[in-house]
Amino acid sequence: MINIDIFQERDCIYIMKAIALYSVVSAHVGIISNNTFFGILFSLILSSIGSIGVGIFFLISGYLFLNTNKTTTQFLSAKVSTIIIPWIFCGTLLFFYVALRKGGVNIYNWVSTLMVHSHLYYLTILMIFYLLFWKLKNNLCFLLFNMFLSIISIVLTGLDLIPIYPYINPFNWSIYFILGLLIKKYHLLEKLVLFCKKWFLCITSIYFLFLIIYLINGVSISYWKYASFIAELVAMAFVFGASYFCLMLKKANWLVDIGKISFSLYLLHMPIAGIITNLFNRFELWYFTLFIPIIVIIITIAGIQTFRFISRKIKVNKIFDILIGYR
């Protein structure tokens, strides 16, 4: 059991990553093709849950980025092995998976898969943030100004007034990264977690109220649309509070372990999500919809560990771990 008498910052962050990963996977399995009432309802619920994770990941990235003491060259060199190489390798695997099913094997589609039209857009935006905030990450005026621009961008995107693919617009995400920077700058993580733990029941009730309102109107809580930004902030507060209660679990270590390998799971889960979702759709197993993200995560973990075992046997485990971003 994890000792919570002293705030376990790193474990708390890992648990937040694990919850965020569940959210991201939910976003990629939430579209169910059948027209049953419960199938559509469960799909909308998963899609709503799926709108939480990316913001959490950006917030955590900003939080961890603030106190970077490396030089620009050292920092970018480190990111080559920890982000760039696994990004390209796993993105290429995803590209071939899609290309084998739909065709279109060419350089443009490969680059598009790596950087824009897949869940890997997150890494494109993250690298932009590293460069954008490198010199000014401690400049409060710069951060607040960019937060203001981000709010405007989110509102205009929701109104369909910005002719840019919304997922690749940095200003639609920068508010989360900046919140992470500010939380770290003013040492607020523990206070926020304890506050959200204290008001957890209230926060949960508010989020469920948002969810019910959206479901009644036949839509999911999605990025930028229908004032969903407020619901996402409430959901992030829920994640903060939930992380505390997860630390209290006797078996919390398994959540921490998932958080530690969340980058690999994020990179590699998509083909598994597609296969499992199609399989469940084909046999109309809509009643398992809410469990599909868990199934996808378990299978992805099993696959990673199986190939890591093989890589150790043939003594290429260090190379393999770099290729899949295993940390």
The DSSP letter of residue 164 is S
Which pTM value belongs to this model?
Answer: 0.95
Higher pLDDT among residues 189 and 287, named by residue: 189
Distances in Å between the Cα of 103 and the Cα atoms of 121, 227, 229, 307 are 21, 37, 36, 27
Coil/strand/helix, residue 247: helix
Domain regions of the chain by residue span:
9-323
Alpha-carbon span 10 to 193, nearest angstrom: 13
Q: Which residue has the tokens 């995560």?
A: 297
Alpha-carbon span 268 to 320, nearest angstrom: 13
Alpha-carbon span 40 to 204, nearest angstrom: 23
- The string of pLDDT tens digits covering residues 182-207 is 999 999 999 999 999 999 999 999 99
Please return the burial class of 125, using the count of CB atoms within 10 Å of its CB with bins 0-12, 13-18 and 19+: buried
Radius of gyration of the chain (CA): 20
- Which one, of 23, 18, 70, 68, lies nearest residue 184 by Cα? 68
For residue 1, is pLDDT > 60? Answer: no
- The string of pLDDT tens digits covering residues 203-246 is 999 999 999 999 999 999 999 988 899 999 999 999 999 999 99
Helical H segments across 50-170, by residue range: 53-65, 72-79, 85-102, 107-115, 121-133, 140-158
For residue 155, is pLDDT > 60? Answer: yes
- Amino acid in position 18: A
